[in-house]
Amino acid sequence: MTDDAVPDLRASDTDRERVAEVLRDALAEGRLDMAEFEERLEATYQARTYGELAPITRDLPVSDVAAPPAVSLRKGPQPAGSWAGRIVGGEGTSTWAVAVMSGFQRKGRWTVPRRFTCFAFWGGGELDLREANFADGEVVISCVAIMGGMNIIVPPGVEVDVRGIGIMGGFDDGETGIPGDPGAPRVVVTGFAFWGGVGVERKLTREERKLAKLERKRVREEERRARLERRQARDEERRARRELHGGDLHGDREDRRGHLGH
């Protein structure tokens, strides 16, 4: 980790794997024992930022692990991985979307405006906010769905407030009331649904799903290693018992031979 790196910049799966490789090398070289290795490996896969990764290998000989580009925290845009860096101000990438017997989609890196309006008639649309930036700390998404549907995907940590009205249709308000992370944006979903519906769901990003998969893999490896260690311990115990009993029997035979000789 370089001294001018931004500690709040989000780390990638590749960055975490680089740190994990350094830890494996340190274990093989005897610089870390198994307990230290497991503790640091767990911290590696749980790390979200470069600032959390840096201390893990600070006392190990490594030249270039997870070094991000130097970015100022006071000038220009904030790191895209932090909530502060995702509330960028200004105008949105687009302010409306329409689907008439068709569909629309907004996903990936885009900026949600302070107010976004979407309309669907015999069609549907999807707004994916998981990787989006936000023009303000609170954005309003107004949806009108007539014999159609819309789906809004928000990342974990974002507060959602659903206020829409449905007639022979509905607005999914299952995500309403869940507290957001400090500094996270607030998404207000409002509008009208007639013979249609508007759904709101919370999903992890692709990177977070990969991290969860790596964590499950790490847990399985630890369980497998623990089972192997228990099996080895049982084998050692049985071997010790056989040697002990074999030694006792040999000693008894020698004693009996001595008594007969007398």
pLDDT 10s digits, 41-56: 888 888 888 888 888 9
What residue type is assigned to position 166 of the chain? G
**148 lies in which domain range?**
88-203
Q: How far is CA 50 from the centre of its chain?
A: 14
Kindly state the percentage of the chain with pLDDT values over 70: 81
Instruction: Please indicate, yes or no, whether residues 213 and 128 belong to a single structural domain of this protein.
Output: no
At residue 247, the pLDDT reads: 54
The answer on pLDDT for 168 being more than 60 is: yes
245 domain residue, yes or no: yes
180 domain residue, yes or no: yes
| Domain termination site, one of 152, 182, 203 | 203
Instruction: Please indicate, yes or no, whether residues 104 and 149 belong to a single structural domain of this protein.
Output: yes
* pTM for the model: 0.53
Name the residue among 50, 48, 70, 46 with its Cα closest to residue 58. 50
Instruction: Please indicate, yes or no, whether residues 29 and 11 belong to a single structural domain of this protein.
Output: yes
CB 41 within 8 A of CB 25: no
Q: Which residues of 59-91 are buried (b: 16+ CB within 10 A; e: fewer)?
A: ebebeebbbbeebeeeeeebbebbbebbbbeee
More confident residue, 206 or 42: 42
Instruction: Please indicate, yes or no, whether residues 141 and 173 belong to a single structural domain of this protein.
Output: yes
Show Cβ contacts of residue 28 under 8 Å, excluding neighbours closer than 6 positions. Answer: none
Show Cβ contacts of residue 19 under 8 Å, excluding neighbours closer than 6 positions. Answer: 44, 47, 53, 56, 57, 65, 66
| Domain termination site, one of 183, 203, 223 | 203
83 domain residue, yes or no: no
Name the residue among 178, 166, 222 with its Cα closest to residue 38. 222
Average pLDDT, the chain: 80
| Residue 102 vs residues 5, 119, 145, 151: alpha-carbon distances, Å | 46, 11, 13, 14
The answer on pLDDT for 146 being more than 70 is: yes
CB 96 within 8 A of CB 68: no
Write the DSSP symbol of residue 82: S
CB 104 within 8 A of CB 98: yes
More confident residue, 48 or 4: 48
134-145 pLDDT, tens digit per residue, is: 999 999 999 999
At residue 103, the pLDDT reads: 94
Size (the chain), residues: 262
Which three-class secondary structure state does DSSP give residue 27?
Answer: helix
Instruction: Please indicate, yes or no, whether residues 65 and 92 belong to a single structural domain of this protein.
Output: no
At residue 239, the pLDDT reads: 85
Instruction: Please indicate, yes or no, whether residues 116 and 220 belong to a single structural domain of this protein.
Output: no
Neighbours of 50 (CB within 10 A): 24
